[in-house]
Amino acid sequence: MRALRPTDAGSRWESRLVRSAHPVVARVVDAAVSGRAVVRLPGVGVLVADASAARRVLTDTESFVKNGPGSSGALWTPVLGERVLLNMEGTEHRALRRSLADLFSPKAVREVHEAATGPLVARARQRLERGDEVDVVELARAVSASTIGAVVGLDPATPPSVLLDAGDAIESTVRWRTRTFDADDVVRARASLAVVQDAAEAAHVEGSSSTVMGRLARQGVSLADARALAAALFLTGTGTVSSALPRIAGQLADAGLLAPSTASRCDVGAVVAEGLRMTTPSLATLRRCATDADVDGLRVRAGERVVVLLWWATRREGGFDPGRRTEGDLRHLWFGAGPHFCLGAPLALAELTSMTGMLLDVASDRGLVVTGRRAARRVLVPRYAELRLRAAAPAGDARADTARRGAAARQVAGAAT
Ligand code: HEM
């Protein structure tokens, strides 16, 4: 097994983000899993920081469940209700997943993407090409909020800040150690979610085949399920994507892949996949042990809490390398595994591919440099508070033109060999 010690700038920034988000927990966990990847930490539970052990826990639904007392699913039940996928198991969970099979079909993803992501990404591209600074944290937050807004049927004129403020308000009530919400937290969280759920209800009632919620209504998904699902999509789909993009941009910069000669050789799909492996925005997920089980030689007892440390498990492979092919147990592990595998993965990939592709395009042309970055402190999903990029050379700059010609020549040379 490879060491977890960060050895390059990109890995060090990732560690800094995680430690800034969870200053105490991250250090304790780092120390606990530095020797054995599957270990019992008294007062916390069984920590699992290895890809194959993590996959085994996530796919063994007899022994490890997401609902019931002390589970992360149970945390959300008072706020979202009983039927929001992430607090369900077994037949009911399977049936609801099946009824949502087309939710993020390629057609649905394309429609939402064109409506929400396209204009914001185009504007950011123009600003970078003009030589302006762009904070990719702001870009990713706006894109993820507008995208979820389009999914739930929010009026497109609603500023992204309405959803972002709602998301921030809810995030601020959840900490790593939160096991239950008190009554006031529940009231506040429900109030924050009303904007999303009311929009979903209106779209569901209208039942138009051109909206996601309308199509769910036509497929027989109940209004109550649609309202609950809208809130769940909002909670799962904004913080993750908005955390990922700036971190992927940071990885590209730290690996020297935002210069014209290197950016032009990057394959955007490979960059997003490897960027997600390195950043794994859903740091960890929880399971409750339902029947005694064995994980990597460690006996786990019924009732114990299992903390699947996705971020630690995916990084054991080493630093950012878009040439890497992740296979076997590691494949897509950043989206989970088994029956709870991320429902929104196709949408997340479309958003990230669009934004990362734009950055690579501009970088291939003029190069991009990081002009400032700062880690967010004490947040649930580790992220940058800001990460600013600017073209390395303004439009019409002779050095940029030379670099571009150099990159083009190298590409031709590369194609010829
Ligand atoms: C880079 C972005 C994302 C990452 C890294 C991510 C990661 C994950 C992970 C690890 C899980 C499984 C958790 C577990 O097994 O306990 C999950 C589940 C889920 N994700 Fe995502 N996610 C992302 C984006 C999204 C988006 C954009 C949406 C919706 C629009 C979404 C909706 C969901 C839902 C509804 C579930 C629960 C599925 C179930 O329990 O059956 N996710 N996600």
Per DSSP, the residues of 215-226 read: HHHHTT--HHHH
Which ligand 1 atom sits nearest the alpha carbon of residue 347? Answer: 27
Q: Contact 336/342 with Cβ under 8 angstroms?
A: yes
**What is the rounded CA–CA span in Å between residue 213 and residue 173?**
28
How far apart CA 311 and CA 391 sit, in angstroms, is 31
User: Rounded distance, CA 206 to CA 196, Å?
Assistant: 16
Q: 157 C-alpha to center of ligand 1: Å? A: 27
* Res. 415: pLDDT tops 70: no
Is residue 285 within 6 Å of ligand 1 at its C-beta?
yes
Ligand 1 atom 39: residue of nearest CA: 340
Of residues 266 and 186, more confidence is placed in 266
Question: Which of 363, 360, 366, 358 is closest to 393 using CA atoms?
Answer: 366
70: tokens are 């002390």
Q: What is residue 411's predicted lDDT score, i.e. its pLDDT? A: 40
More confident residue, 7 or 164: 164
User: How many residues appear in the chain?
Assistant: 417
Assigned domain for 322 exists: yes
Residue 219 has pLDDT above 50, yes or no: yes
Q: Quick check: is 28 in a domain?
A: yes
Comparing 21-25, 31-35, 355-359, 407-411, the range with the smallest average pLDDT is: 407-411
User: What pLDDT, on the 0 to 100 scale, is given for residue 189?
Assistant: 87
Res. 409: pLDDT tops 50:
no
Residue 406 three-state SS:
helix
Model confidence at 254, pLDDT cuts 50, 70, 90, reads: very high
The rounded distance, in Å, linking the Cα atoms of 75 and 78 is: 7
Angle at 389 between CA 388 and CA 395, to 5 degrees: 145
* Count of structural domains, the chain: 1
314 lines ligand 1 (CB under 6 A): no
Please report where in the chains the tokens 């149970």 appear, as a residue.
74
More confident residue, 167 or 365: 365
Among protein residues, the one with the nearest Cα to ligand 1's atom 7 is 335
The closest-lying atom of ligand 1 relative to the alpha carbon of residue 240 is 2
Stronger pLDDT, 330 or 325, i.e. the higher one: 330
Banded model confidence at residue 237, pLDDT cuts 50, 70, 90: very high
Does the Cβ of 335 fall within 6 Å of ligand 1?
A: yes
Q: Which residue, 61, 63, 34, is CA-closest to 50?
A: 34
The residue nearest atom 32 of ligand 1, judged by CA position, is 344
> Ligand 1: distance of its center to the CA of 35 in Å?
29
Angle between helices 239-254 and 223-237 (to 10 degrees): 20
Rg (CA), the chain: 22
Ligand 1 pocket member 348 (CB < 6 A): yes
**400 has a pLDDT exceeding 80:** no
- Residue 85 near ligand 1, beta carbon < 6 Å: yes
Look up the pTM and report it.
Answer: 0.92
Return d(Cα 156, Cα 139) in angstroms, integer.
17
Q: What is the pLDDT of residue 80?
A: 87
Q: Using a 6 Å cutoff on CB, does residue 306 contact ligand 1?
A: no
Residues 168-209 have pLDDT tens digits of: 888 877 776 677 778 888 888 888 899 999 999 999 999 988
352: containing domain: 9-416
- Closest ligand 1 atom number to CA of residue 72: 16
Residue 387 CA to ligand 1 centre (angstroms): 24
Residue 4 lies in a domain: no
Cα 321 to Cα 33: distance, rounded to the nearest angstrom: 24
Taking CA atoms only, the protein residue closest to ligand 1 atom 6 is 335
3-state helix, strand, coil split of the chain in percent (to 5) is 60, 10, 30
User: Residue 182 corresponds to which tokens in the numbers above?
Assistant: 């008190």
Neighbours of 378 (CB within 10 A): 10
Query: Would the CB of 347 count as within 6 Å of ligand 1?
Result: yes
pLDDT given for residue 398 in this prediction = 47
Q: Does residue 181's CB lie within 6 angstroms of at least one atom of ligand 1? A: no
Q: Is 237 in the pocket of ligand 1 (CB under 6 A)?
A: yes
Pocket-testing residue among 83, 88, 236, ligand 1, by greatest number of atoms within 8 A of Cβ:
236
Q: Which of 85, 148, 212, 342 to mutate to test the pocket of ligand 1 (most atoms within 8 A of CB)?
A: 342
Which tens digits make up the pLDDT trace of 268-320? 999 999 999 999 999 999 999 999 999 999 999 999 999 999 999 998 788 99
User: What would the mean pLDDT of 249-274 be, rounded to a whole number?
Assistant: 96
Residue 362 lies in a domain: yes
- What's the CATH code of the domain at 304? 1.10.630.10
Report if residue 1 sits inside a domain. Answer: no
Dihedral over Cα of 33, 342, 165, 133: its sign: positive
Cβ neighbours for 165, distance < 8 A, ≥ 6 positions apart:
none
281 lines ligand 1 (CB under 6 A): yes
The pLDDT score that the predictor gives to residue 174 is 76
Q: Is the CB of 232 under 6 A from ligand 1?
A: yes
Q: Which atom of ligand 1 is nearest to the CA of 341?
A: 12
Is residue 93 over pLDDT 50? yes
Q: Answer yes or no: is the C-beta of 236 below 6 A from any ligand 1 atom.
A: yes
Q: Write out the DSSP string of 61-101.
A: TTTEESSSTTSHHHHHHHHH-S-SSTT--HHHHHHHHHHTT
128 lies in a domain? yes
Q: Find all residues with CB under 8 Å of 294, minimum gap 6, and list them.
A: 300
Q: What is the mean pLDDT of the chain?
A: 89
